[in-house]
Amino acid sequence: MKALKKTPLLRKASKAFLLNSIAFMLLSGVALYFYTQSLLQNEIEEELLSTKDRVEHLLQTNPNIQDIPPVIAIAKSKIQQKNSLKDTLIYDPLQDEVELFRQLSGTQIINGTNYRITVRAMVIESQQILLAIVFIFLLLIVLAFVFLFYLNRSRNAKLWQPFFNNLARIKSFNVKSDEPIHLEESDILEFDELNQEVAHLTSKIQVDYRNLKQFTEDVSHEIQTPLAMMQAKIETGFNEPDLSEGQYVMLSALQDDIRRLKNLNKRLILLAKIENNQFTQEEEISINNIVVEITGNFRELTDTVFALRGNTPLKVKMDPHLAQILCTNLISNAVKYTIENQPILIKFTAKSLQISNAGVQELKDATQVFDRFYKEGNQKDSTGLGLSIVKKICEHYGFSPSYSFKNKADSTENMGFHCFEIKFFT
Amino acid sequence: MKFLIAEDEQDLRDAIVNYLSDEANICEQAADFNEASEKLELYDYDIAVLDINLITGSGLDLLKRLKAQNKSCGVIIISANNSLENKLEGLDLGADDYITKPFHLAELNSRIKAVLRRSSFGGNDSIIFHELRLDTASRTAFVNEKAISLTRKEYDLLLFFITNQGRVLSKAIIAEHLWGDDSDMLDNFDFIYVHINNLRRKLTSEGAKYIQTAYGTGYKFTAI
C-alpha cells in the first residue's frame, strides 16, 4: 500500500477552507457577472424600446425630425421589417473612437409613410458598471475570506492546543520510566475520552513492561541455583571411581550445555541491567587501549591475527565495564565468524571504530544482525545475544552501530569483509 | 582444616562437602541461616562458605557477625546474583572471595586454597607435590629445586592442577578457571590443548609426569 502523505492538522484544515472559499468565490463571481449582465441588457433594451416609441410618437406630429447620430437615425424605407436587436460598432465622432452600441432597428408606418427607425445605446457604460459590481463583490468577499481564514486558523489552533500538548507528552513518554503519563485536562469531551484511554493504555504498558523485566530478572537469577546443582553433580560424577569413558563424554557434553545456558543467562541479565540504567559510572575511556588489551587476551585463545590500523586516539565517555563488553563482543564476533587464517582488521578513526572479518557473502538479513537471537549460519554455540548487547550499549549512549559488506577489490576469489562500525560521535 | 558450608540446597551442599572433604579437611554443613549462625558462634572454622540467599536470612549477615566477633575465619560468598554491587558489598564486608552460581567445584576448591594460603602467615608460601614445588610469592615452579620456566598461564594451570590433584578436570573447568569470562568468547576449548601440552612437555622433560589424560578429553593430576 502506498504511504499516505502526512499533512499537519491545522494546515489541512486551512487548506480545505482555502480551496472551498476559492471555489465559492469563483462560482458566485461568475453567477453575479451573468446575472448583472442580463439585468443591464434588459435595462438597455427597455430603454431602446421606449426611445423608439417616443420617436414614433413624435413622427406622428412632426415628420421632419432630425437624426441624432449615432443615437437616433430615421429613414424612409420601402421594406417592412420587424424590430431587431443587435450589437454594432460605430464611429462616434464626439469621442473620436469606434464604440460598441446596442441597436434596435425596425420599420413602422406612420401617417402612411414607412419609416425605418434605428435607436442605439452605448454598451460601454453598462459594461463598466458590470465590472465595477463584480470587482467590488469579489473584493468584499476576498476580504471577508481573509478575515475568516485567520480567525478560523487561530480558533482552530486554540481548539486543538490541548491535543497538540498531549501529543507532545505522549511522544516524550518513556515506557521504561516509573512515572505515569500526565495529560492536560480538556473541556472537550472527545479529548477527555482520548486522554483517559491513553492514560489507561500507557499505565497498562508500563505495568506489563515492569513485570516482564522483573520476570526476566527473576528467572535469570532463580535459574542459577539449579544450574549450580547440575554442574556440581556432574563434577561429582567425574570423580566417581567406576565412570566409563562414554559416561564421561556424556557428562562433559552436559557441562557444555550448562555453560551455554549460563552464558545465555548472563547476557540476558546484562541486557536487563543496561535497560535498567544500572551502569551509571562514566569515565573517559580510550577505546584504543581497550581494543589493544582485548586483542592481547585473545592471542592466548586463538591463532587469528589482528591487524590494527590507524592510531587516532578515540576517547569516549562511558562506563568502563560496558566499553569492555562492547569491544569484546565485537571482536569475539569477528573471531567466531572469520574465515580461517584471515586476519581481523580493526580500524580507529577520530569518531568511530571499525572491525572487519573475512566472509564469503553479505548476510542475508543485514538489518537484523543486531537483533536478539539472530543467527546466521550454523554456529551452534553462539547465544545470539552478543551483537544485541552491542546494540543495547550503543542505544544507551547514543552511538550508532552499523553493518556493511565490502567486496575485496584486489581479489578474484569470492571473498569480502563483514564490516561492523560503531560511530561514537555524529 | 575445618570448613563450614552454609547452603540451603541440599544437593549442592552435599556435592560441595563431598568434593572438599578428604583426609586433611573436615566439612561441616549448615542448611539454613540459624544453623549456620549457631555453628559459627560455637566453633572455629578455617573457611566458611556462605550462600547469600539462605532461606531464613542472608549470608552477608553471617559475614557481618563473624567480622564483629573478630574470628580469623576466611569467608567465601556464594551468590546467584553476579551483579557487581553485590560482589563489592560482600568484599567490603570483609569476605575473602566471591563466587557466582553456577560454579565448578574445582574452582571453589581452588579459591578456598588461595584464601587459606593468603591467611596463613609467612614461611608457608610453598606448595609441594612430590618433587614439585611452587613458590606462590614469586610465582615460580621448581622440580627438584630446579626452576622451570613457565608462562603465566602455565603456572596458573599447574597451581590449579596441584590444588585439585586426583580430581578429573574437564576442558571447560580448566578454561573457565584460566580465562574466566573470556573463555566463553570462543566456541571450543581447543586452545587449552596448547597450554596443557606445553606444560606437560616442560614437566615431563624434568621427569615429573603427573598430568594424566582421563577419559580421552579430561585431565587428572596424579602420581598414579
DSSP helix/strand/coil, B141: strand
Residue B11 to residue A232, Cβ atoms within 8 A: yes
Q: Does any domain span residue A224? A: yes
pLDDT of residue A311: 81
When the pLDDT of each residue in chain A is averaged and rounded to a whole number, the result is 86
Per residue in A188-214, pLDDT tens? 899 999 999 999 999 999 899 888 888
pLDDT range class, residue B33, cuts 50, 70, 90? very high
pLDDT of residue B82: 66
Residue B172 to residue A236, Cβ atoms within 8 A: no
pLDDT of residue B142: 93
The answer to whether residue A230 neighbours chain B at the CB level (below 8 Å) is: yes
Distance CA B12, CA B6 (A): 10
Q: Looking at the structure, do residues A332 and A375 belong to the same domain, yes or no?
A: yes
Task: Answer whether residue B207 shows pLDDT above 90.
Answer: no
Residue B102 to residue A273, Cβ atoms within 8 A: no
> Are the CB atoms for A424 and A314 separated by under 8 Å?
yes
pLDDT range class, residue B124, cuts 50, 70, 90? low
The answer to whether residue A263 neighbours chain B at the CB level (below 8 Å) is: yes
Residue B83 to residue A273, Cβ atoms within 8 A: yes
Q: Looking at the structure, do residues A301 and A241 belong to the same domain, yes or no?
A: no
Parse chain B into domains and list their residue ranges: 2-119, 126-221
CATH (domain of A229): 1.10.287
Mean local confidence (pLDDT), A161-167 = 91
Quick one: which H or E segment has residue B79? strand B74-79
Q: Of the residues A109, A143, A177, which one is the last residue of a structural domain?
A: A143
The answer to whether residue A361 neighbours chain B at the CB level (below 8 Å) is: no
pLDDT of residue A1: 61
Q: Which of A146-155, A233-242, A298-307 has the least mean pLDDT? A: A298-307
pLDDT of residue A23: 92
Q: pLDDT higher for A46 or B83? A: A46
Q: Looking at the structure, do residues A210 and A316 belong to the same domain, yes or no?
A: no
Q: Does any domain span residue A160? A: no
Q: Does any domain span residue A31? A: yes
Per residue in A325-344, pLDDT tens? 999 999 988 888 888 888 89
Q: Does any domain span residue A240? A: yes
Q: Looking at the structure, do residues A19 and A95 belong to the same domain, yes or no?
A: yes
Structural domains counted in chain A:
3
Q: Of the residues A143, A171, A198, which one is the last residue of a structural domain?
A: A143
pLDDT range class, residue A222, cuts 50, 70, 90? confident
The answer to whether residue A238 neighbours chain B at the CB level (below 8 Å) is: yes
Q: Looking at the structure, do residues A208 and A321 belong to the same domain, yes or no?
A: no
The fold for domain B2-119 equals Rossmann fold (3.40.50)
Q: Which of A91-100, A194-203, A247-256 has the least mean pLDDT? A: A91-100
Q: Looking at the structure, do residues A210 and A105 belong to the same domain, yes or no?
A: no
Closest chain B residue to A248, measured at CA: B215
Q: Looking at the structure, do residues A360 and A309 belong to the same domain, yes or no?
A: yes
Q: Looking at the structure, do residues A294 and A391 belong to the same domain, yes or no?
A: yes
Domain with A405, as residue range(s), is 283-423
Q: Does any domain span residue A51? A: yes
Beta-carbon count within 10 A of B147 CB: 12
For chain A, give the percent of residues with pLDDT over 90: 25
Q: Looking at the structure, do residues A310 and A394 belong to the same domain, yes or no?
A: yes
pLDDT of residue A365: 76
Task: Answer whether residue B156 shows pLDDT above 90.
Answer: yes
Residue B104 to residue A243, Cβ atoms within 8 A: no
Per residue in A44-63, pLDDT tens? 889 889 988 888 888 888 87
Task: Answer whether residue B189 shows pLDDT above 80.
Answer: no
Q: Looking at the structure, do residues A136 and A219 belong to the same domain, yes or no?
A: no
Task: Answer whether residue B106 shows pLDDT above 90.
Answer: yes
Q: Looking at the structure, do residues A14 and A70 belong to the same domain, yes or no?
A: yes
Q: Of the residues A143, A160, A177, which one is the last residue of a structural domain?
A: A143
The fold for domain B126-221 equals Arc Repressor Mutant, subunit A (1.10.10)
Three-class DSSP labels, B39-69 = HHHHCCCCEEEEECEECCEEHHHHHHHHHHC
pLDDT range class, residue A128, cuts 50, 70, 90? confident
